[in-house]
Amino acid sequence: MVKINENYLKLPGSYLFSTIAKKIAAYQEANPDKAEDMIRLGIGDVTLPIAPAIVEAIHKAADDMGRAETFHGYAPDMGYAFLRETIAQRDYKDRGCRIEADEIFVSDGSKSDCGNIQEIFSHDNRIAVCDPVYPVYVDSNVMAGRTGEYDTEAGIWSNVIYMPCTADNCFVPELPKETPDLIYLCIPNNPTGTTLTRKQLKVWVDYANRVGAVILYDGAYEAYISEEDVPHSIYEIEGARTCAIEFRSFSKKAGFTGVRLGFTVVPKDLKCGNVMLHALWARRHGTKFNGAPYIEQRAAEAVYSQEGHKQVMEQVAYYKKNTRVIYDGLKEAGYTVFGGVNSPYVWLKTDDGMNSWEFFDYLLENARVVGTPGSGFGPSGEGYFRLTGFGTYENTVKAVMRMKALKRKK
């Protein structure tokens, strides 16, 4: 009889954002009169339409697909040279990073790559994650059978090294006591919205090179970095070419959550023994992925054009303004808030010692505001809550006003 991958049965509940979507749907069904008035600041999904310069590129690429001379079938597995060369220049060389176009793998988004990358590593490797963090890293390793057993009470996996990032250590992970093989770093961090300076990141690069670990560096929120001493790429740090893989996304920078495009950088200097990880990822990519669509790669190319860049950075500024409204408004109301400066996320302490899910229900019930419970990102997220700056400005202001009013009622 066929056997299933039993590791899937170990996963507690459904994926965090699917659980939230189900809860919202149940609330809407039970309260049809309040559904309209609900403000969603939960999943980090953008609300502004795709910028005009990018829409124009999409139209043009669609026309290309309709003419024999410019039609494109399967894209090259790693992505078209026009996009990889642009990325190498603009995201890396212009920042002083030595990354070549043939070290860039274009994909259908960085969530897939963050989830799939573990496939090229041995089953025996131990992973270390910041706690709290984007749940895809742990969940994808659970599916692969790398995480041991789940302790329901504590919300932890026996074979995962958790690196708590809390107010006590200013959300800066400390080097773990046990030595990991794979270290996931999401910088700026999802969900806390906090980040690492160059000096702090250098500690991790040196550590990984010293112990022979690989850093899986998720830079999805890079466009939101405001502070000078925060690196935009791990390759700005000397030594990163021999220990780090970087994931980048167009979702939060250019509103591509529905378009789907991202890329992964695997430097050719990154080796395990004699094996180049670049060769393994190329093999995996070529076998399991048929190249991102031409139209989307042309759209991504337009993100770097003069007009496109200006327009997407205006959108980023809009979301950053929303984030500021949340941060300042909630702080003024007496909430304890973190993040928000180099990130579209504000991380706040729940009220009155409520746990994260109790606060989720309380806010939905009393303010019709949806956020994300901190415990969904790891055990150290318990007692915290995440709000995103990706809503509309009007809704963001309204949500903050409702939360302020709620606080006043207490």
Binding site for ligand MLT (CB under 6 A): 43-44, 111, 134, 190
On whether 290 is known to bind a ligand per the annotation, the reply is: yes
Question: Which residue number, 134 or 224, has a Cβ lying nearer to ligand MLT?
Answer: 134
Angle at 112 between CA 203 and CA 148, to 5 degrees: 65
For tokens 């189900």, name the residue: 22
On whether 402 is known to bind a ligand per the annotation, the reply is: no
Angle at 381 between CA 388 and CA 352, to 5 degrees: 90
On whether 44 is known to bind a ligand per the annotation, the reply is: yes
Q: Give the residue from 222, 230, 215 showing the smallest Cα distance to 249.
A: 222
Q: Computed over its alpha carbons, how large is the radius of gyration of the chain?
A: 21
On whether 320 is known to bind a ligand per the annotation, the reply is: no
- Cβ proximity of 64 and 294 under 8 Å: yes
Q: Residue 404 corresponds to which tokens in the numbers above? A: 């302020």
- Cβ proximity of 312 and 136 under 8 Å: no
Question: Which residue number, 140 or 241, has a Cβ lying nearer to ligand MLT?
Answer: 140
Question: Which residue number, 46 or 303, has a Cβ lying nearer to ligand MLT?
Answer: 46
Question: Which residue number, 43 or 367, has a Cβ lying nearer to ligand MLT?
Answer: 43
Q: How far is the CB of 88 from ligand MLT (least distance, A)?
A: 24
On whether 92 is known to bind a ligand per the annotation, the reply is: no
On whether 284 is known to bind a ligand per the annotation, the reply is: no
Q: How far is the CB of 105 from ligand MLT (least distance, A)?
A: 18
Q: How far is the CB of 248 from ligand MLT (least distance, A)?
A: 12
Question: Which residue number, 190 or 264, has a Cβ lying nearer to ligand MLT?
Answer: 190
On whether 289 is known to bind a ligand per the annotation, the reply is: no
CA distance 201 to 213: 15
Question: Which residue number, 190 or 322, has a Cβ lying nearer to ligand MLT?
Answer: 190
* Residue with the shortest CB distance to ligand MLT: 44
CA distance 321 to 340: 10
Task: Show the beta-strand stretches assigned E in 16-96.
Answer: 39-40
On whether 386 is known to bind a ligand per the annotation, the reply is: yes
- Reduce the DSSP state of residue 15 to 3 states and report it: coil
- Reduce the DSSP state of residue 275 to 3 states and report it: strand
On whether 408 is known to bind a ligand per the annotation, the reply is: no
Angle at 88 between CA 102 and CA 285, to 5 degrees: 40
Q: How far is the CB of 111 from ligand MLT (least distance, A)?
A: 5
Q: How far is the CB of 239 from ligand MLT (least distance, A)?
A: 28
On whether 158 is known to bind a ligand per the annotation, the reply is: no
Count the helix, strand and coil residues of the chain and give each as a percent rounded to the nearest 5: 50, 15, 40
Residue 312 identity (one-letter amino acid): V
On whether 122 is known to bind a ligand per the annotation, the reply is: no
Q: How far is the CB of 388 from ligand MLT (least distance, A)?
A: 7
Query: Can you name the residues that pair with 272 across neighbouring β-strands?
Result: 275
Q: How far is the CB of 305 from ligand MLT (least distance, A)?
A: 25
Question: Which residue number, 88 or 396, has a Cβ lying nearer to ligand MLT?
Answer: 396
Q: How far is the CB of 395 from ligand MLT (least distance, A)?
A: 16
Distances (CA, A) of 40 to 51, 110, 138, 262: 22, 23, 25, 25
Q: Residue 323 corresponds to which tokens in the numbers above? A: 């984030």
Q: How far is the CB of 43 from ligand MLT (least distance, A)?
A: 4
Q: Report which DSSP code applies to 14.
A: S
Question: Which residue number, 40 or 126, has a Cβ lying nearer to ligand MLT?
Answer: 40
Residue 327 identity (one-letter amino acid): Y
- Reduce the DSSP state of residue 368 to 3 states and report it: coil
Question: Which residue number, 44 or 339, has a Cβ lying nearer to ligand MLT?
Answer: 44
Q: Give the residue from 252, 278, 254 showing the smallest Cα distance to 264.
A: 278
Binding site: which residues? 15, 44, 74, 110-111, 134, 190, 221, 249-251, 260, 290, 386
Binding site for pyridoxal 5'-phosphate: which residues? 74, 110-111, 134, 190, 221, 249-251, 260, 290
Binding site for substrate: which residues? 15, 44, 111, 134, 190, 290, 386
